[in-house]
Structure 1
Amino acid sequence: MIKIDDYELLLKLNEIGTIRGTAKAILISQPAVTQRLKFIEEYFGELIFIRTPKNLILTPSGEIILEHAKKVVMNEQAIKNMLAKSSNEVQGTLSIACSSLISQRFLPKILGEFTNRYPKVTVDLVTGISEDIRKNHKDYHVCIIRGEKLKESVSIRLFDDPLYIFDTEPFPKDTLKERPLISFKSDDSMHELVDNWLYHHQQQIKPLRTMTVDQIETCKQFMKQGIGMAVLPKSVSDSMMDEFPHVALELDGKPVTRYTWVSYQEGIRELPQVDEFIKMLTNQTFL
């Protein structure tokens, strides 16, 4: 018998394009994904994907089945939402897409409080860089992103996160500082802020080369080991202020800042679980 999970698996396989990548994303083994796909194809009696060395390609039959899968998943979610709205008790599914930095630094405490208060709510959480979340923002009830707000959504600014440049070596005022720069994977708006600030301060600071790492925590550790400078937001570096030389990023006397927003579609707060989460989020003190 085909389940909702099977339809969700087909959508995820089509989105990611590989069995290996899908297995990694949904945290189950590659053979398990292959076996489940084989079962679904046998159920429909049709080949859904052609397997190539690089990716999965939808067959014409697969396109029809995938359209059906989208409708089934959407209808299932719509029914859950209707039931959640009609109930006096806060329950149902709350889907959140959240910036990796916020999910690591602030979200565990907030979700801990939320799930204790509303144990019947199922939380569906996806994390990643804000740029990727923007592309699929309509797939989620709530998006917590960094940088620019979502233009087609209702957006509330949660907090401003000023940037600092850190190093194990001092920042001299009168001579040019030449050091490697360690950067972490982020969206383009973050890199633009840093590049713009460095351009206006090229007489004081010159990166010899740039090393890019995946995680902000790796970036911090590399800086602490003396490998080079790193630009970090206050939210993840306030404990380092007393320990390492640093300079606040400013332009025209104003701090260079990353904004954090909670964004959602108009009307979605009619769902009690979404409304309660947004209330909790906007009542938090972040910095």
Structure 2
Amino acid sequence: MLMREVSATEERDLLIIIALYKHKNITKTAQSLFLSQPALTARIHHIEEYLKTKLIYRGSKGIHFTPAGDYLAKNAERLLADLRNVQENVLNLGNGVKGTLRIGASIYVSRYILPRLLSLFQNQYPKVDFNVTTVPSRNIINLMHNQDFHVGFTRGDYVWKYEKYELCEERICIVSKNEVNLRNLPQLPRIDYRTDYLNRITLENWWKENFSQPPTISMSVDQIDICKEMVINGLGYAILPNISLCNVNDIYKMYLYDQDKKPLFRKTWMLYQQEMLEIKLVSAFVTFVKNTNFDDAFFNSQM
């Protein structure tokens, strides 16, 4: 227990140094780490007191690192990796599945898949903790290459040269409070939400295949759940994945097809590296995911 507490503190401090070196700004660093500015400042002072040296100073154009701070920041990522490896190797030598599983997931996966999945996994392995980072799918690829995460969850067919496993695929559909005629779609108010590049390209290609004029965007929002609520309240139609509509009643849905009459799907993938399976915790989780049935019942049970 003591080892876990010490490691967690050291890991947090290294993450602070890494983020501070990246942003060179207290406000942005605090936001990226979900800390208040006073809490972040206090922690930086604590690190400096522990090391008995000044690491940063504030200038007119933001944060500047002292030579000692610059040296620490440039070695922080290696130190963090070494710290995590030591902790994982020690836990791996023990009996049972335990430790902290580092997961990177898209916002969509974090909202609709992970809560129930992690709950089921922890029921089977109660000594496991989770460190979940929510980032866009395109960013997960680079972070997985750097082994910042044990496992990553992405949506869309991003290039990944290591192991990947398809969790599920959801149908893409037009949703509206009332029934709509496909031919009238360009004239109807559409609610758009911020999505990743691959999905945006898929939707734009489908639109160009079916219409010669652009859609009438009446509202743009930054989250899929907000978009869904706007549709439910009759403010326009949207193009959404079917899974986001679990337990939503009294709404009109029209599934989309490409020019070859094939349904439009959005796939969700689990990414990992084979060498990570040497860690008992990672191996147990990957096996658990592969044995989980991601059917409608899985998604409906958590809504």
Give the match for residue 266 of structure 1.
274
Call closer, same or farther: CA 1:18–1:214 in 2, change over 3 Å. farther
* Residue 183 (structure 1) aligned to one of 192, 203, 206: 192
What residue number does 1:62 align with? 69
**AA in 2 matched with 1:209:** I
Q: CA deviation at 1:116?
A: 2.3
Q: How far apart, CA to CA, are the structure 2 residues paired with 1:229 and 1:129? A: 25
> Normalised by the size of structure 1, how large is the TM-score?
0.88
Matches of 1:187 and 1:119 in 2, distance apart? 34
Residues 209-254 of structure 1: CA distance to partner in whole angstroms, max 9, x if unpaired? 26331211101011122222211111111434x6222221110111
Give the aligned residue type for 1:143.
Answer: G
Partners of 2:140 and 2:177 lie apart in 1 by 34
Task: Give the structure 2 partner of residue 225 of structure 1.
Answer: 233
Distance 2:113 2:104 in 1: 14
User: Following TM superposition, by how much is the alpha carbon of 1:277 offset from its aligned partner in structure 2, in angstroms?
Assistant: 1.0
Aligned partner (choices 146, 152, 156) of residue 161 of structure 2:
152
Is the helix fraction higher in 1 or 2? 2
Secondary structure class of the residue paired with 2:229: helix
Figure out how many residues of one structure are paired with residues of the other and give that number. Answer: 284
Taking structure 2 as the reference length, the TM-score comes to 0.84
Specify the alignment match of 1:11 in structure 2. 18
> Structure 1 residues 15, 186: CA separation in 2 closer, same or farther (over 3 Å shift)?
farther
Unaligned runs of 5+ residues in structure 1 are: none
Paired letter, 2:45: K
Identity %, equivalent residues = 28
Task: Determine the structure 2 residue equivalent to 1:211.
Answer: 219
Shift of 1:111: 0.9
1:184 Cα shift? 1.9
The residue number in structure 1 matching 2:298 is none
Distance 1:44 1:207 in 2: 61
Q: Give unmatched runs, 5+ long, in structure 2.
A: 1-5, 296-303
> What residue number does 1:30 align with?
37
Q: CA RMSD, aligned part only? A: 2.5
Judge conservation of contact 2:185–2:215 (CA < 8 Å) in 1: no
Distance 2:148 2:182 in 1: 49
| 2:177/2:252 contact within 8 Å kept | yes
Higher strand share: 1
Q: 1:199 aligns with which of 191, 208, 216?
A: 208
Contact map agreement 1:176 1:206 (CA 8 A) in 2: no
